[in-house]
Every structure is written in C-alpha cells, then in structure tokens.
A and B are shown apart, each in its own frame.
Chain A
Amino acid sequence: MENAYAIEMLNITKKFPGIIANDNITLQLKKGEIHALLGENGAGKSTLMSVLFGLYTPEEGIIKKDGKEVKISNPNDANDLGIGMVHQHFKLVECFSVLDNIIMGVEPVKNGFLDKSVARKKVTELSEKYGLHVDPDAIIENITVGMQQRTEILKMLYRDNEVLIFDEPTAVLTPQEISELLQIMKNLAAEGKSILFITHKLAEIMEVADRCTVIRKGKYIGTVDVKTSSPAELSALMVGRDVNFHVEKKPQELKDVILSVENMSVAGEPGKQDVIKNVSMKVRGGEIVCLAGIDGNGQSEFVYALSGLLPVKSGKIKLCGKEIQNMSIRKRSMSGMSHIPEDRHKHGMVLDYPLEDNMILQTYFKPNFTSKFGFLKRKNIRSFSDRLIEMYDVRSGQGSVTIARAMSGGNQQKAIIAREIDKEPELLIAVQPTRGLDVGAIEFIHKQLVAQRDAGKAVLLVSLELDEVMDVPDRILVMYEGEIVGEFDPKAVSQEELGLYMAGAKKDEVKV
C-alpha cells in the first residue's frame, strides 16, 4: 500500500546548551495537503525546520520520507529528497539575475560553460504554469519583495521539489500579494505538491490550510483539522491562554503640535528617485500616531531623516516649533527627541558594553556622568543604571555589569526603552518596538507607549504588524513608496481598507 505521508518527523528532540528547543515533536505531512505549523516567535518552528534540512542533528527522533526512514545531514540531502524551502529571509544573491539565482547549485553546463538557454525555457514554462509572471533576466535588487519570493518558489519548482516549505512567507507582503501567494499555494497543492506553511497568522491558516500542527515553547501541543476548528481555538492552543489584544487607553487629551514635518524629501541612492517625496505630517502631544506600511516603503528613511541619521534634501522638520532639520543627531536628541531604533543590535546597543554603559548611551556626556575634565563618574552611572533596571524590570544575569550581548532580546529592548523614556522626551519615536518579542514583553512595551501619550507627550510609532497598527495608535498614516497616502482613525477603518492603501491601490490627498 502506498504511504499517505510525504514527510514524517517523529518524536524529534533537539537541545542547545541550557535550552530544549524541540521537545519530542511529531509532524506528519500528507501528500498534496497544505499543512500549517503554528507557534509563537521562539516556539521552536525554525529549529524544527533546520532539523528537517539537516542543519541540526536531533538528539532523538527519526524522519521518514514516503514511509521510509531517511538520514538528512545537510541541505543537499534534503534537496535530493525533493524538499525545498522559501526562507523568511530570502536566500537570493542581490546582484545576480533571477535566472542565475534559480539555477545556482544545479547549473546546466555545456562543454564546461553555463548553458542558460535550457534553463531559461524551463523557468519561463514553470512561471506560466503557476501564474508567477517572473522576468528571468531581472536583477534581484531591482524587483519587488513579492517577485523575489516568487523567485524563491521557482527555485524549488525548478528542482522538481515535491515538498515545499514556506517559512513565514506573508510577513513582508501586502494584503493583495498575500492573497495572490495563497492562491499560488493552492495551485501548487492541486498539482500534487505537499506544502508546509509556517506562520503565526490565524486568518491565513483558516483560508488555505487543511491541517495545522501547533507547538508552544518547544513542545508539541497537537494537530487539528482546520475545517473543524476556529481561530479562537488555534489561538488558545498557540499561546496557552486567552490573549487580550486590546490596549487600555485613557480618553484622549490633545495638546500642542510637537512634531511637524513640512514638505520633506529625502534623496535615495545616487541615480535613483527620492525615498521620501514631499511628505508633510504632524504629531501632537497626547497622541500616538502610527506610520503604517509594507516594509521598505520609506518608513525607515523617514525616521532616519527625523533623527538625523540621513540628511534631508528639502523641506522642514520642526520639534516644538524649532526647526531641527539641520541640527546634529546629538542636538535633536537634546531638544527632546527619543528614538527607539528599528534594529536594536545595529543601532540600539553596543553589545559588548556592559548594561550600565548602554544605559547612558544618550546621556553619557551630561555633567551627571562626566566630570569637567572629561572623566566618567562611575558611581553615578552605576546608581542610575540600577535605578532604571529596577523601574523597568530589566532582567540580566549580573545587573548593571552584565554584558549586553548576554541578555535576551526582550530585556535588551526593555533597556533601550528605559533609556529613551527616562530622557523625558517630548517626542518618542518607536520603530517596530515589539519585533521578535514574546507576548509579555509586547504588552509591557505597548503600556509604556500609552503611558507617554497619557502624560501628554507625542509618540510616533512605526509598525508593520497589522494588529499593532489597529490597536495601539490614535491615528494611522499609511506610507507607500515614500509618500503618505492615507490618514485613518483606527476605530473607523477595516484591515482590508488599510491593505488597499498599503499596497498603493488607493490613495488620498492627505491634508495636514
């Protein structure tokens, strides 16, 4: 009898020093089904997939393909077994063409030279068959994220893979691109491909998946039939308790304008168009304004221009009425701007400094920490750091002297937030402050943002997560290709409507 399962991962256990990433997990993927793997950040999904790809060797458990036990010790083995994966961070060489990326590793060769004509024909055929519309000769860095993802899909199809794994594929897409992707996945399954769909978005699971396996904190929770389940059930399985997504806020008390941006443009890379085009907006005291949009539409550059990391090409930025567009980063920070950066490892911290030295990163030069002769006042620094650790519940192994690198992401983020809020800014800019954090930390951070608002300060939140966009702010601005294309009251707009704006399908004239 033919085996019904394409892939079976039975009783997988994988340990790392100090942590059990996968604890006796079982996952069975039927042929031709779309199987969702659901779990929070850090639940062990990536580890499980790395085991399947031979990147990690599990301590216990076996893997079966078509009912036969197989040994996968590197990605090549997985490839040979017809298993392919679209990674969360695309594995594409940016300066190569789409075609070069697809054939890489399995290049057709004639007389020792690359023979791209055969490959191009096959790619074009596959692209048409599944409705992918990819130009094989485009250079990766010039095409959209959606197209890049399709390149990744073509990479699997080109290798005739039977088992396709999608790792959080919708995180970087517009709602429209998402629905197209889900359709493509359905087409693939209809053609007999078996699909494993890793996600933490319930709506998408409900739409395409046949079955769903849930893991939580490295443990196997269960496998459910999606048709007979509900989002509420899945959610409860995923987090282990009912989550209150709603953020408590006091009634709004609007104050004076704190941040005002007037006709600001920011130049793009040489030879390319501006990344920010003539944008005007205001943030007042006592409100949280969310700048929403798909990743890469200029939000990062907008914030860089505000904080001074990027120069402004034209236009004005006013903070509490003062023009700041020509000020240095330091002066802007001193004038009442705090900035929780998007990438805490790149900008937010000096990871090899102890926690206390990170706590004073924005204020080390003040008389409280530096003497007249330029010497650091270590005692003051220690007591300051101890106070913030206490107040914001920053957990670290050895308190103030812990090297920042040794702390968890959530606690690093808490430390940054403590530092930025303790400066008592008039304007707090928070860029994706909850990215990659667990539910508890997210709740804490949202509370801090709201506390600033309630204290009459201005908060500018940049977020990619629709849940956050809908729940936290008082006002939403949507940014698309460097322009603000819509302004909304979160209580009066639907996610679908926002999606249309984020994808550039709709556009308003936004008055300031």
Chain B
Amino acid sequence: MLLLIQYTIIFTAILSLVALGGCFSEHSGVINLGLEGTMVIGAMGGALLMRMLPDGTPVFLIVILVILISIVVGMLYSCLLAVSAIHCKADQTIIGTAMNLLGVAVATVIVKAINLSINPDDPSSIVQYVAEKQAFLVNIGDFEFNWFSLIALVALIGSYVVLYKTRFGLRLCACGEHPQAADSVGINVYKMRWAGVLISGMLGGLGGIAYIIAGASEWKFENGVAGFGFLALAVMIFGEWKPHKILMAALVFGFFRALGNVYSGIDFLSNLNIPSAFYTMLPYIISLVILVFTSKKSRAPKAEGIPYDKGVR
C-alpha cells in the first residue's frame, strides 16, 4: 500500500509538470503536441549527464545539474515548435507529431553513437544511472521520497501565482484568448508565445527526466516515454487548463498509472487474475473514457492553434 502511495505521488508529480507545460503553451495560444518528444529529449540530456558525472559528485550538485540540463535541453528543443508555429504559421499538429518522432530518433541516434564509441560491441540505446538516481531519492522509513514531487508542487503553486497574480500571466492568457486585443494594447504577441512555448519546453524536459528516474535505473531510449506526454495532455484537458484542477486530474491518472506498477503486490488485485497487460493499458483506457466525458464542454483557450498574423484583424 505504501508503494502504491509512493508511485501515485511520483506519477502525479510528473503528469502535473508536463501538463503544466502544455498549459503554459496553450494559454499563450500554441498547441504543443510535441511534449512527448520534448520529454524524451529532456530525459536524454539528464541521463547522459548523470552517466558522465564523476563518481563522488556531491548529491546536491547532481540534482541541480541534472535538472538544469534537462530544462535547457527541453527549452532548446521546444524552439523547433516556436519557430515554426509562431513565425511560419505551420500546422501545429504536424509539427508536434514530427517533434515526437524526432525526439525518439535523435535520442536513439545520439545514445547509440555514444554507446558505440565507448564500447564497439554495445549497439544499444540504454543509459544506466544506478548510483546517480539515488541522489533524487530520500528514504523516510520504507517510503521513498522523490525530490521531483516537491519540484512539481512548487511548479503547481508557482504556475497558479504566475498565471493569475502577475502581469506576465495576464498578458500570456490574453494572447491565447484574443491576440488581437493583446496586440492593440501594445503586448508583443510573438514574444509572449515564445515565452509560453519555452516554459512548456522547460517543464516538458523536467517531466522527462523525472519520468525515467521514477522508473528504473536505466532507460532504453528507443522506447521513448510510452505516450506519457499525451497522457499529460489528457490531464491538462481534464484539468481545464487550470493549475489547481490539473493537480486533481493528475492524481486520478497518477493513481491508475501507479496501479500498473504495483498491483501484483496488492493481494486483492493479484487474486483477480487479470493479465498484467490490462493494468499497463489502464491509464490509456481511463484517459479515453474521461476525455469522452469532458471534451464536449471543454473550454480551451479560444485562439489556440491559430497562428497570429499582425496583418489580419
């Protein structure tokens, strides 16, 4: 049971981080379907750094550096979306899809190249980080506390404050709702959208590294992040693009995701003799069901997905 709580917390944290990423981008008016790819790239950045750091690096330094690199890499990657969607009026769905495919391909190519250069007999796309992973965990009795849970909590509160209590948030939301209105009072829509997408990349990258650390102590990059970026988007829709509701939505999804990891340890569930694949599928099924019930009345930012053109008004 403790394990279930532990996993629920960490998956909720990851989903919240990535969903908030989607939230910032969409509030600025850009749909970020490329979060999945951004997660992979962020995860790759962090994982490679963890492997390269010399043994005996202070725990504190590991945490800070890994987080920093994931954020930076995620932001850089999201520039692909920003440039195309904000300046070239590209179809945001195609670009997002391309970014997801590209993320996995780039990570695989890079990791394999590095693996090969270290050991010519190792053509895998696996990165190990057994020791470094411990830097992110604090054991409180049997409970494993993950620093990312705290980071996610801070991000949630921070996002709420930024979106609703600051000048930046007011302007950001205006750009996603009615960019012409924002422009007419001197707000630079392009700049705000860049900000939205970059924050989105930052949170996506952070979510990526958090995801692979929560899993095992090694990661095979050919597999990407198994649709987690899209689950986060479902969380965002379910959470009505609002940080406090995103937390609630993430809790629901996080719980079902955790169930897949630990169900065998819960007597009641393992006695049911349901094949393990069912539990693996559960989050996806739940998200479909929830989308069916929530999409009809969803209130997305009005101008999302529509390229802004100064000339047209």
Residues in B whose Cβ lies below 8 Å from that of A374: none
Distance in angstroms from A240 CB to nearest chain B CB is 28
Q: Decide: A93 near B165, CB < 8 A? Known: A75-B186, A76-B186, A104-B182.
A: no
Residues in A whose Cβ lies below 8 Å from that of B313: 55
In the complex the two chains form, is B170's CB within 8 Å of A114's CB? yes
In the complex the two chains form, is A93's CB within 8 Å of B181's CB? yes
Q: Decide: A94 near B184, CB < 8 A? Known: A100-B170, A114-B170.
A: no
Residues in A whose Cβ lies below 8 Å from that of B186: 74-76, 79, 105
Q: Which A residues between 45 and 93 are near B, CB-CB below 8 angstroms? A: 55, 74-76, 79, 85, 87, 90-93
Q: Which A residues between 307 and 322 are near B, CB-CB below 8 angstroms? A: none
How would residues 224 to 249 of chain A score, 1 for a CB under 8 Å from any chain B CB and 0 otherwise?
00000000000000000000000000
Task: Give CA–CA (A341, B86) in the complex, Å.
Answer: 33
Residues in B whose Cβ lies below 8 Å from that of A93: 173-174, 177-178, 181-182
Residues in B whose Cβ lies below 8 Å from that of A94: 177-178, 302
What's the interface size class on A, roughly? 20 to 34
In the complex the two chains form, is B185's CB within 8 Å of A113's CB? no
Q: Decide: A104 near B177, CB < 8 A? Known: A55-B310, A109-B167, A114-B170.
A: no
Distance in angstroms from B290 CB to nearest chain A CB is 19
Q: Decide: A270 near B177, CB < 8 A? Known: A100-B170, A105-B186.
A: no
Residues in A whose Cβ lies below 8 Å from that of B187: 104-105
Closest to B301 in A: A95
In the complex the two chains form, is A87's CB within 8 Å of B184's CB? yes
Closest to A107 in B: B167
B171, B173, B174, B297: which has the most chain A beta carbons within 10 Å?
B174
Q: Decide: A91 near B165, CB < 8 A? Known: A104-B170, A105-B186, A270-B297.
A: no
Q: Which A residues between 265 and 289 are near B, CB-CB below 8 angstroms? A: 270
Q: Which B residues between 22 and 75 are near A, CB-CB below 8 angstroms? A: none
In the complex the two chains form, is B185's CB within 8 Å of A155's CB? yes
Task: Give CA–CA (A54, B298) in the complex, Å.
Answer: 37
Is B180 close to A, CB under 8 A?
yes
Distance in angstroms from A360 CB to nearest chain B CB is 29
* Number of B residues with CB within 8 Å of any CB on chain A: 22
Task: Give CA–CA (A94, B182) in the complex, Å.
Answer: 12
How would residues 450 to 481 of chain A score, 1 for a CB under 8 Å from any chain B CB and 0 otherwise?
00000000000000000000000000000000
Closest to A100 in B: B170
Is A112 close to B, CB under 8 A?
yes
Is B166 close to A, CB under 8 A?
yes
Task: Give CA–CA (A76, B191) in the complex, Å.
Answer: 15
Is B183 close to A, CB under 8 A?
yes
Task: Give CA–CA (A452, B171) in the complex, Å.
Answer: 52
Distance in angstroms from A87 CB to nearest chain B CB is 7
Residues in A whose Cβ lies below 8 Å from that of B183: 75
Task: Give CA–CA (A104, B161) in the complex, Å.
Answer: 17
In the complex the two chains form, is A114's CB within 8 Å of B185's CB? no
Q: Which A residues between 81 and 128 are near B, CB-CB below 8 angstroms? A: 85, 87, 90-96, 100-101, 103-107, 109, 112-114
Residues in B whose Cβ lies below 8 Å from that of A106: 185
Mark A residues whose CB is within 8 Å of B: 55, 74-76, 79, 85, 87, 90-96, 100-101, 103-107, 109, 112-114, 155, 270
Query: Given known contacts A93-B177, A109-B167, what 13 new A-B pairs fall within 8 Å (CB)?
Result: A75-B183, A75-B185, A87-B184, A91-B180, A91-B184, A92-B181, A94-B302, A95-B177, A96-B173, A100-B170, A104-B170, A104-B182, A155-B185
In the complex, 30 of the A-B residue pairs with CB atoms within 8 angstroms, ordered by the A residue number, are A74-B186, A75-B184, A75-B186, A79-B186, A85-B184, A90-B181, A91-B178, A91-B180, A91-B181, A91-B185, A92-B178, A92-B181, A93-B174, A93-B177, A94-B177, A95-B177, A96-B173, A96-B174, A96-B177, A100-B170, A101-B181, A104-B171, A104-B174, A104-B182, A107-B167, A107-B171, A109-B167, A113-B165, A113-B166, A114-B165
